[in-house]
Structure 1
Amino acid sequence: MKLRDYQEESVKRIFQEWDVGHKKTLLVLPTGTGKTIVFSKVAEEAVRQGKRVLILAHRGELLNQAADKIEKSTGLSVSKEKAEETSIGSWTRITVGSVQSMAQAKRLSRFSPDHFDVIIVDEAHHTLSSTYQTVLKHFESANVLGVTATPDRGDMQNLGQLFDSLAYEYTLPKAIKSSYLTPIKALTLPIHLDLKGVKQTAGDFNATQVGHILDPYLEAIADEMVEHARDRKTVVFLPLVKTSQKFTELLNQKGFKAAEVNGNSKDRDEVLKDFDDGKYNVLCNSMLLTEGWDSPAVDCVVVLRPTKVRSLYSQMVGRGTRLYPGKSELLLLDFLWHTDRHELVHPAHLIAEDVEVAKRATEKIEESDEPVNIEEIIEEAAEDVTNEREEALAKQLEKLRTKKKRLVDPIQFEMQIQDKDLQNYVPMFGQELDPPTIEQLNQIEKAGIDQTSIDSKGKADELLKRVNYRNQQDLSTPKQIRQLEQRGYNNVANWKFDQAKVLIDQIAANKWRSIHSKAQAEIYQPS
């Protein structure tokens, strides 16, 4: 099977991370971009190197999918650790295991700690749970790959408690622009739902309370679906089974062909097949279909289960992002959820990593009466937020310019070289979170930058990378930039070192008096 370019690159990067000693590394791929294919190829390469591989998942569907995909894409046989099935005594070098089964002390004790050389965790946002930790700690010497579709830096910081590095990240916007996933249009429906009194359970909104709040609005929501989604193939996510069942009845009364599935549905497989075959055009569920189920024809997702968990929201929406013949877009229906807390996830969070941009984009989506392309709205929101930030930072920079300070403030340097990645950098993994070393701080100060506000090893490393790159390219130094911009010269960060040096030498020869007027300095370009 020929891999896509990003899939090939991700496999390469994963082994590079392990080779440099990052034993636990992450792969981030949006739902629908082939994460199972990628980790199948990782497993295949590990086997080629003579290693044993364990693939962990928490649901039977995921285990079966992984086993099937590995056998089809690599030709390798797979054994299972699940219920009565075991890999003990098997000649296969790849095992797919249920984490619930593997975490049992009796089963785990059958394996020596060095039995597996590589462990791959599907849906890696679950790895912080005690069952996963039990298994990972037992096989402590193994290299670990976590695979997730997490789109949000907040979730990534949580995963950073366990993982040492991010091997590769392929974003949803890139996948859409490369035509690997379908574009998403969002529509906020004018139904006001008040979550202010809802408690949180296990880090998210309490499902029972959300169900009670939602119940009086179900008919109005069904009417909105008649208007916007009558001819679409739709999946609806609801907080409770009884709410899902009630909503299914309402939709059928409104003329939809709706069905409901839950964990106790004896005919679940039959219903899912009938949905694929077109017998039903709406499928309601209480969070059952977030993982391990795909129906590429889905072109509408209705989220009636508000959440503060980005990974969960991404999985819900991911049920509709796959390509399908004749499908031009995914319609994502959202609602006016009101909460005192700001962590509620909206469609904009699928694309925007920046909290302020997501907030501004959400406001724009809510103001529109028509479905809007999320990417386009994010671009507009990002421009608005950037302009406001630049205005605020410009004022801050002006204050810094007037300071008679020997060293350049890091914020000033970041603005001068116009490096947004450096400005927005947040440490997430392993040693990145540690305090900066004395050597790093000394190097930063030697470069002419004030090191007192640098609070992490990761930030110090990123700052020094920029300084070293500029040195290699013979670009102006932080000290030169500060010296000349204080005298009214513009864009000095783009000058060569020698160009800045010549002008500073001329000013020094003039007893540190300016050799250009203010107007001349503003338009001055070095020759």
Structure 2
Amino acid sequence: MAETFEGDAQRKALVVMATGAGKTRTVIALVELLMRANWVKRVLFLAERVALVDQAARAFKEHLPHATTVKLTDDKVSEGRVYVSTYPTMLGLINQTDGGRRRFGPGHFDLVVIDEAHRSVYQKYRAIFSYFDSLLVGLTATPKDEVDRNTYGLFDLADGVPTDAYTLEEAVEEKYLVPPRAVAVDLRIQRTGLRYDELSDAEKDEWDALEWATATCPTR
């Protein structure tokens, strides 16, 4: 990734790694490298759910302790070098002003990291990536190359050719992961269906953020 930014003069990179292979840890190593090289001062890490934000914040604090990490889902006023947020929280903060000034202007971050890039880039939150003038890194295990849902296109890449890739086969061979094993599970939803009013508030928010053109609505 660093070679892509420096040697190839590109501002976007897509990293495809098998689930469980360490996407967050890999991007933390990249952040540390770019900070040491004075390429990056402030970083924004975006995740879909609060649980993933909490997980990422813990990882940054553990592996990059000298860079203050701010979890915007809980703390919207502190200053730091690494900011971790959900997409709705960040979109709301972008639109906030104080005395006519925005706290997060287009140049506030030098690097924006998109977790689970194969899903997040197609919803309304894609405006966030256009707003910030920064380097952009996408993390995913399952990139899409469909006409209307093309992960590669957002990063200006040819279909099927990510910036970097670490496959499940490589992870298994190097003993970081084990081969998958199929397990049959009887799911209640498959037997009885799902009603919208039975969802939690977080699940309703996630459902409402889906693209209705491709989604199947649960019975209300």
Query: Structure 1-normalised TM-score?
Result: 0.32
User: Paired residue for 2:164, among 165, 168, 172?
Assistant: 168
Residue 72 of structure 2 is matched in structure 1 by: 81
Between structures 1 and 2, the one with greater helix share: 1
Distance 1:21 1:119 in 2: 17
Structure 2 residues not aligned, in runs of 5+:
207-220
Residue 318 of structure 1 is matched in structure 2 by: none
The answer to whether the 8 A contact 2:144-2:150 is kept is no
Distance 2:122 2:21 in 1: 26
Report Cα offsets for 1:58-116 as digits up to 9, x if no partner.
Answer: 1001100100011111213300222x621x451x2110011111112533843111000
Question: Is it true that 1:52 corresponds to 2:42 in the alignment?
Answer: yes
Query: Structure 2-normalised TM-score?
Result: 0.72
Residue 38 of structure 1 is matched in structure 2 by: 26
With over 3 angstroms needed to count, the CA separation of the structure-2 counterparts of 1:185 and 1:106, relative to structure 1, is closer
Residue 96 of structure 1 is matched in structure 2 by: 84
Distance 1:119 1:43 in 2: 10
With over 3 angstroms needed to count, the CA separation of the structure-2 counterparts of 1:180 and 1:107, relative to structure 1, is same
Distance 2:26 2:186 in 1: 28
The answer to whether the 8 A contact 2:113-2:136 is kept is yes
User: Paired residue for 2:2, among 15, 19, 32?
Assistant: 15
The answer to whether the 8 A contact 2:13-2:163 is kept is yes
User: Paired residue for 1:107, among 81, 96, 101?
Assistant: 96
Q: Equivalent residue of 1:103, what SS?
A: helix
The answer to whether the 8 A contact 2:13-2:136 is kept is yes
Task: Calculate percent identity across the aligned residue pairs.
Answer: 31
1:317-332 equivalence runs, <5 A = none
Residue 141 of structure 2 is matched in structure 1 by: 149
* Aligned residues: CA RMSD: 3.1
1:183-332 equivalence runs, <5 A = 183-186=179-182, 236=185, 238=187, 240=189, 243=192, 264=200
Residue 17 of structure 2 is matched in structure 1 by: 29
Question: Is it true that 1:137 corresponds to 2:130 in the alignment?
Answer: yes
Q: Equivalent residue of 2:85, what SS?
A: strand
Q: Equivalent residue of 1:119, what SS?
A: strand
Report Cα offsets for 1:275-329 as digits up to 9, x if no partner.
Answer: xxxxxxxxxxxxx9xxxxxxxxxxxxxxxxxxxxxxxxxxxxxxxxxxxxxxxxx
Q: Which has the higher contact order (CA 8 A, sep 6+)?
A: 2
Q: CA deviation at 1:44?
A: 2.1
User: Paired residue for 2:116, among 110, 117, 123?
Assistant: 123
With over 3 angstroms needed to count, the CA separation of the structure-2 counterparts of 1:240 and 1:16, relative to structure 1, is same
Q: Equivalent residue of 2:125, what SS?
A: helix
Distance 2:130 2:179 in 1: 41
Distance 1:34 1:168 in 2: 13
The structure with the larger Rg is: 1
With over 3 angstroms needed to count, the CA separation of the structure-2 counterparts of 1:167 and 1:61, relative to structure 1, is same
For residue 81 of structure 1, what is the amino acid of its counterpart?
L
The answer to whether the 8 A contact 1:101-1:107 is kept is no
Distance 1:138 1:237 in 2: 44
Distance 2:143 2:105 in 1: 36
The answer to whether the 8 A contact 2:41-2:81 is kept is yes
For residue 74 of structure 1, what is the amino acid of its counterpart?
L
